[in-house]
Structure 1
Amino acid sequence: MKLKNNKLYKNTNMKIAIGIEYNGKNYSGWQKQKKKITIQYHVEKALSKIANHKIKIICAGRTDKGVHSIGQVAHFITKKKRNNSAWIIGTNSYLPKDITIIWAKKVSTLFHARYSAISRNYKYIIYNNKIRSAILFNELTQCIHPLNIKKMYKASQYLIGEHDFKSFKSKQCQSISSKRKIIQINIFKYKNYIITDIKADAFMYHMVRNIVGSLIEIGKEKKNELWMLKLLNLKNNNLNIPTAPAKGLYLTSINYPKYFNIPIIKISKPLIINEILFI
């Protein structure tokens, strides 16, 4: 309750959390930018129409240009009472077909999409085949050279734990600290697809793509496994290490404390992507 003009009135502001799925091909990343089309721009515009007032959203992880998501989480403040169906179906009616709100719910005022997150999960999908895929061309990265996933996995384990990941930090990254904690990295093969599944407390700009780009060099056996440890120890982001293309990268989930009761995402995708992402 607040006091206004000597009268008590009830603060009706509500905090709503939403889950967002998108194909990043046609967008300049998540974050709103002048003269560029972004995911945030479209979502805020659509939500504002449903709320009948300007909406500003805060997301859990700002994905790069061309990166996809099946698990983005964001929150916003509104005075308008709408049921979850209105926030989902109504907002989707104003969104491009490659951006979808998949769930919505009222959350505690203590919830923050970014700062309440415990960890983030990304999957990077490589199509390891000499023949390209016509159907999934923009949803994965092709590598025509056979990749040694045993060596890739061994190299990846040097990154587990809390380290200074400056060598994997983009020169354009604005983060002051390059210390991050990688909780786990799994690399496995499914038919012609090689998937790198990486979980960390947070990521820097291009960090996942730089790690995967380095792993691909090791998988091609152009570098040995210890090269990854050397890169980590150098703590130098002027090494010009290879950056894997954006189109193979998916933000798959954001993990929060259980008491916030953030939904577990189960989304239908084209068969191959669905099988890969939800193994």
Structure 2
Amino acid sequence: MKIAIGIEYHGAYFQGWQSQPNGRGVQDALEQSIARVAGEKVRLHAAGRTDSGVHALMQVAHFETTAQRPQTAWVRGTNAHLPPWVRVRWACVVADDFHARFSARARSYQYVLYNHAVAPASQHGRVGWYHRPLNIVPMQQAAQLLLGEHDFSAFRASECQASSPIRTMHSVGVTQQGQYIVFSFKANAFLQHQIRNVVGALVYVGQGKLDVAAFGALLQNRDRTLSPPTFMPDGLYFTGVTYDASWQLPACDAEWN
């Protein structure tokens, strides 16, 4: 049978989602724990890969197994063998033609930035940080230029292996919650480091180093070498996946708060 699972993890303890030779990938921890419940090796396929230091409030993955277990066993049993910084939130049997990655219609991320003169202690590793005051209004205006289908080469990592830089941004938001600025993005898919590069450019807008028109020009020029540096991974969260309702999955999204 095929099982889908919803997953939450603290990315600072891992070297990204993908399996690593040293076993430090989120995928490694989950596959080993699920195998102990299933009594056989399993292979996980995720909706999207996250880089080292990036967190997930709701990652979705699936695996196939011949083991017959109650659905609660895939949650409680797996979590019993996992470190406390990764948890399976839910599990359900899905149709044979479901695929966590290829059945997804969109992915969502949030970047949480602490904007204060002093770096946070209790939130270390969980939020990004910028020490100078940021003007949120031009950041909001610039972010709206990302909506729709674009060539996002200006915000693409040089080592990105995606076959095309074209992506469709369904929604984008920049909101302020006290000392925190939260950037929210939803797209059909994302390029490697795309969000961290966008956030880096929006921070330049917020401090006045770029105006809204200059941000738009970066997008149109499609040249990564002209864009500001990549922002730290600490504040980036994979927050959900959009699937057709016909798959009858539990809630596949979450938000930072």
Question: TM (normalized to structure 1)?
Answer: 0.89
* Cα distance in 2, alignment partners of residues 250 and 81 from structure 1: 33
* Contact kept? 2:155, 2:227, Cα under 8 Å: no
Question: Is residue 191 of structure 1 aligned with residue 173 of structure 2?
Answer: no
Name the counterpart of 2:74. 87
* Contact kept? 2:136, 2:206, Cα under 8 Å: yes
Structure 1 window deviating more from structure 2 (222-231 vs 22-31): it is 222-231
How far 1:159 sits from its partner (Å)?
Answer: 1.0
Question: Is residue 179 of structure 1 aligned with residue 166 of structure 2?
Answer: yes
Name the counterpart of 1:27. 14
Where structure 2 has 5 or more consecutive residues not aligned to the other structure, the ranges are none
| Identity of matched residues, % | 38
**One of 192, 212, 217 as aligned partner of 1:205:** 192
**One of 120, 123, 130 as aligned partner of 1:136:** 123
**One of 224, 235, 242 as aligned partner of 1:248:** 235
* Cα distance in 1, alignment partners of residues 222 and 150 from structure 2: 10
Name the counterpart of 2:30. 43
* Cα distance in 1, alignment partners of residues 216 and 227 from structure 2: 16
Question: For residue 125 of structure 2, what is the amino acid of its counterpart?
Answer: N
Question: TM (normalized to structure 2)?
Answer: 0.97
Look at both structures and tell me which one has the larger radius of gyration over its CA atoms: 1
Question: For residue 43 of structure 2, what is the amino acid of its counterpart?
Answer: K
What secondary structure sits across from 1:264 in the alignment? coil
How far 1:111 sits from its partner (Å)?
Answer: 1.0
Question: For residue 178 of structure 2, what is the amino acid of its counterpart?
Answer: K
How far 1:131 sits from its partner (Å)?
Answer: 2.4
Name the counterpart of 2:156. 169
Name the counterpart of 1:146. 133
The C-alpha deviation readout for 1:161-212, integer Å capped at 9, x for no partner, is 0011111110111111000000111101011110001110000110010001
* Cα distance in 2, alignment partners of residues 244 and 15 from structure 1: 37
Give the ranges of 4+ consecutive aligned residues of structure 1 lying more than 4 Å apart after TM superposition: none
What secondary structure sits across from 2:174 in the alignment? strand
How far 1:109 sits from its partner (Å)?
Answer: 1.1
Question: Is residue 109 of structure 1 aligned with residue 104 of structure 2?
Answer: no
* Cα distance in 2, alignment partners of residues 92 and 85 from structure 1: 11
Name the counterpart of 1:160. 147
Quote the RMSD (CA, aligned, Å).
1.3
* Cα distance in 2, alignment partners of residues 224 and 240 from structure 1: 13
Summarize the alignment of residues 118-137 of structure 1 with structure 2, pairs less than 5 Å apart: 118-137=105-124
* Cα distance in 1, alignment partners of residues 86 and 23 from structure 2: 16
* Cα distance in 2, alignment partners of residues 26 and 259 from structure 1: 35
What secondary structure sits across from 2:183 in the alignment? strand
Question: For residue 141 of structure 1, what is the amino acid of its counterpart?
Answer: G
User: May I ask how many residue pairs the two structures share in their alignment?
Assistant: 257
What secondary structure sits across from 2:224 in the alignment? coil
Question: For residue 277 of structure 1, what is the amino acid of its counterpart?
Answer: W
Question: Is residue 70 of structure 1 aligned with residue 52 of structure 2?
Answer: no
Question: Is residue 17 of structure 1 aligned with residue 4 of structure 2?
Answer: yes
How far 1:129 sits from its partner (Å)?
Answer: 1.1
